Structure 1
Amino acid sequence: MNPPETQTLAPSAGAHDAAATSQLSSRAAWVMLLALLSGFALSQAYRTVTAIIAVALQTDFGLPASSLGLFAGLFALTFGAVQLFMGVGIDLYGLRRTVLVTAPLSILGAGLSAWSPSYAWLLAGQALIGLGCAPAFLACTVFIARHFAASRFAAVSGISLGLGGIGMLFTGSPLAWLVEQYGWRSGFATLGLLSVLSWLLIAWQVHEPAQGASTVPRQSWLAATREFGVLLTQPYSWGILAMGLVTYASFLTLRGLWLGPLLMERQGWSLVASGHLALVVSLISLVSPGLFGRMDPGPLRRRRLLVTTTTIIALLYAALGLLHTGWLNVALILVIVLISGGTVLQYAHVRSSYPPEATGRAMALLTMAMFLGAALMQWFTGLMASWATRYGFDPFAAVMLGIATMLCLGAAAFQTLPVSQRLHQQV
């Protein structure tokens, strides 16, 4: 039996890293990456749409805050729950085939959501959208790992996160205007049409070169899935997952669920005015991951930076919950979003922590943790808001303090649990 740190894994999507002196030219690699990013951008739009349509959904279906939290979290739940299977699918069948087979579910889900006559049908549509979008970002990260130099991974991943954030621009002012003019159903119909165009673009542009003949027989689904269990035997995986559960979840819970209600109900803003701030938030989220990717300080200092930024963000959420001044709330939101761009460094941390043959599956595991964490946080904050309302407290204070607490717990676990010895070897 190999010791945990060196336990071997079957070749995965990440196994091409060392060999991925890619056969693609730089221009071809960027064209294909941009096509894949169109799917990721739409995934970003779907997961943040609730912030703008929340009040309309509550009016149409009479939803309490807890039901709204469940609706918003269902995308993240279904998205995160199948990440391991998406990783296996990419390993066994390639990222192009995995994306093209899965993405039509989001189109079906968007159509179902636009039509839905009841809350139950709306939940079904949301679940299908989450499943259809599941491989969107993982495919991008695996493509970067295969076809870009390791030294550029953090920077290209940051740029990709920023470009993928373009999808959130739609769920700012444009969606707010669309909802005011034509109702919330028009938003899902528009996103469904854009998803069709993205699918066609990926089918047209994304064609990875053959990796050459392999003497290793293709694994079965069962064997490939078991490899994820090996990752969980590594003690350092648990700190990575603990942090992954809370960082992106906090951003998505703010931007994707509570931003609009907070501005409209606490500050008295209109829907369109809330959409304008959502647009600004989205623009910041386009830039901040790239900035953090470029300033990547290296394996060990990167870990300290992640703990520091997460702790700062937790304090900012606590302040947002307790302080009611309008301009201060806006300033806190903008600073939170700016610093949240540091989440991109978690993928670089994963790449540094695991051997090359485990990179693809480790990224899938982190992505799964991020979205299951988002589902948990959105559901939990919905319960917190309902509880606070029932007992006469400020629901937004309860929500923001709940987010701050979860961030502190995640940062503490990441700081105290073991780290991979590979980080010390790379200093």
Structure 2
Amino acid sequence: MALVSPALPGLIALAFGYVLSQFYRACLAVMTPVLAREFGVAPEDFAPASAMFFLVFALMQFPIGAMLGRVGPRRVTGALMAFGCLSGLAVFSQATAPWHVTLAMGLIGIGCAPIYMASLYIYARTMPPARFAFLSSTLLGVGALGNLVSAAPLSFAMEALGWRGTIWALAAISGAGALAIWALVRDPPAPKEGVAPGLGGFLEVLKIKALWPMMPLFLVSYAVPAGIRGLWAGPYLDEVFGLSGESLGLAILVMAAAMTLGSFLYAPLDRLVGSQKGVVLPGAGITALLCGVLAFAVDRSMTLSVVLLGLIGMTGLSFGVHLGHARRFLPERLVGQGVTLMNFLSIGGLGLGQALTGGLVADLRGLGDPAVAYGAVFWAYAAALSGAVLIYALAPRHPPEPQEKTA
């Protein structure tokens, strides 16, 4: 308790920052229809903005992973969040074209990049490895509250304050969050065996063969629910079923709430099942199946589509348990680089997926039926996730037990 109690205020501050991070990665789903109409462009013109957030976020994992053990999570997170979020929101507030939003989201990605990793680094350095999957999944659930706020509440705020006024309010909240992290987070003690050198540590992680079958699923699994929720759910329901304003926000709220619930449901499952792989494998497989069903029934029923989006959100957030599986194969000196590398794959896959699906929608829009374009997106997600699941099936469940020496 002596270790946990002093760290608790800092962990709460990081959890609040992670709620903001989840909000920013999902807010464009609600804002895109409004921005598209004001700027006189198509919704897919904002796909690069969402992709930029995740690509910058992903690339930042390399310097962050190297700095967590040397500089400490307090200074890394507090400084980057203050710079990235505040400068990005200032640019966003003055936007008049999609490329302005793209620049803003890239800066915000810098600010959000260290928050989840700082929390996981503290967990990994102060908590038993067996609790890592539970804690990381629980934090995902807490952070998913940002998904809730970025749905109907964001719609209400935009109607009350306008979208520019809402951005300035978010700047004030983000500044307060960065200040709280700087003031309250306590850095954990350094590993007894020292900290692996920056890039060299990443290369050591890449040599761990047990992680190889896990990497494709890291690249794809989070990209599916977060990509649909963060970019395509709003335009899909708007263009295919005509939802807008508060109705659209409420529909997206269903998926956001399901993602929150799913994160909390995943948290204890590895202990109940006795294997993290035994949780992640069927969860990802079911998500792939649901994407296929949504693609098949893309314009059949608004109610069915909203239900399927919710189920994809609920089953798709196995990332915390998956990361716990990878954590079992990481030595203490490589924890910082290991978790950030897996996060790089996850967030980079999300950004890449949004860029590719944005191009897919743009190519198919000329057919005149938006249902065809969005159906192709859901088919693509289903195929990519199915392939990653088949490769993940080859991953070992646990590290090999050390063999006793015989005379």
TM-score by length of 2: 0.91
Secondary structure in structure 2 of the residue aligned to 1:353: coil
**Which residue of structure 2 aligns with residue 291 of structure 1?**
265
1:48 Cα deviation from its structure 2 partner: 0.3
Unaligned runs of 5+ in 1: 1-21
Contact 2:255 2:311 in 1 (8 A): no
- Paired amino acid for 1:332: L
2:377 to 393, 399, 409: 399
- Paired amino acid for 2:257: L
1:367 aligns with 2:343: yes
- Paired amino acid for 2:170: L
1:421 Cα deviation from its structure 2 partner: 6.6
2:392 to 414, 420, 425: 414
* Distance in structure 1 (CA, Å) of the matches to 2:81 and 2:353: 25
Which deviates more, 143-152 or 131-140? 143-152
- Paired amino acid for 1:231: V
1:377 aligns with 2:353: yes
**Which residue of structure 1 aligns with residue 105 of structure 2?**
126
Which digits, 9 at most, give the CA deviation of each residue in 1:77-116, with x for residues without a partner? Answer: 0000110111111111000010112112111101111112
- Paired amino acid for 1:307: L
Distance 1:231-1:149 versus aligned 2 partners, 3 A rule: closer
1:247 Cα deviation from its structure 2 partner: 0.8
**Which residue of structure 2 aligns with residue 12 of structure 1?**
none
Q: Which residues of 2 match residues 46-125 of structure 1 at below 5 A?
A: 46-104=24-82, 105-125=84-104
1:362 Cα deviation from its structure 2 partner: 0.9
Contact 2:222 2:317 in 1 (8 A): no
Q: Which residues of 2 match residues 128-277 of structure 1 at below 5 A?
A: 128-208=107-187, 223-277=197-251
- Paired amino acid for 2:253: L
1:420 Cα deviation from its structure 2 partner: 7.7
1:183 Cα deviation from its structure 2 partner: 3.3
Distance 1:94-1:389 versus aligned 2 partners, 3 A rule: same
Contact 1:64 1:386 in 2 (8 A): no
1:354 to 327, 330, 335: 330
* Distance in structure 2 (CA, Å) of the matches to 1:189 and 1:165: 22
* Distance in structure 2 (CA, Å) of the matches to 1:184 and 1:412: 43
Contact 1:239 1:413 in 2 (8 A): yes
* Distance in structure 2 (CA, Å) of the matches to 1:210 and 1:314: 41
2:12 to 34, 45, 52: 34
After superposition, the CA RMSD in angstroms is 2.4
Contact 2:273 2:279 in 1 (8 A): no
Distance 1:389-1:52 versus aligned 2 partners, 3 A rule: same
- Paired amino acid for 1:82: M
- Paired amino acid for 2:46: L
Contact 1:240 1:366 in 2 (8 A): no
1:377 Cα deviation from its structure 2 partner: 0.9
Contact 1:99 1:139 in 2 (8 A): yes
Contact 1:176 1:272 in 2 (8 A): yes
**Which residue of structure 2 aligns with residue 3 of structure 1?**
none
Contact 2:144 2:260 in 1 (8 A): yes
Distance 1:29-1:185 versus aligned 2 partners, 3 A rule: same
Contact 2:259 2:313 in 1 (8 A): yes
Distance 1:327-1:209 versus aligned 2 partners, 3 A rule: closer
1:280 Cα deviation from its structure 2 partner: 3.1
Distance 1:133-1:300 versus aligned 2 partners, 3 A rule: same
Distance 1:209-1:356 versus aligned 2 partners, 3 A rule: closer
Secondary structure in structure 1 of the residue aligned to 2:96: coil
* Distance in structure 1 (CA, Å) of the matches to 2:243 and 2:398: 51
Secondary structure in structure 2 of the residue aligned to 1:92: coil
- Paired amino acid for 2:122: F
* Distance in structure 2 (CA, Å) of the matches to 1:361 and 1:110: 29
* Distance in structure 2 (CA, Å) of the matches to 1:184 and 1:334: 26
- Paired amino acid for 1:258: W
Unaligned runs of 5+ in 2: none
- Identity percentage over the alignment? 26
1:342 to 309, 318, 336: 318
* Distance in structure 2 (CA, Å) of the matches to 1:232 and 1:153: 21
1:169 Cα deviation from its structure 2 partner: 2.2
1:278 aligns with 2:252: yes
Contact 1:260 1:271 in 2 (8 A): no
How many residues are paired up? 398
1:158 Cα deviation from its structure 2 partner: 1.9
1:43 to 14, 18, 21: 21
* Distance in structure 2 (CA, Å) of the matches to 1:421 and 1:264: 45
Contact 1:310 1:407 in 2 (8 A): yes
1:320 to 294, 298, 309: 294
Contact 1:263 1:269 in 2 (8 A): yes
* Distance in structure 2 (CA, Å) of the matches to 1:369 and 1:377: 12
Distance 1:303-1:215 versus aligned 2 partners, 3 A rule: closer
1:331 Cα deviation from its structure 2 partner: 1.4
Contact 1:299 1:349 in 2 (8 A): no
Distance 1:259-1:421 versus aligned 2 partners, 3 A rule: closer
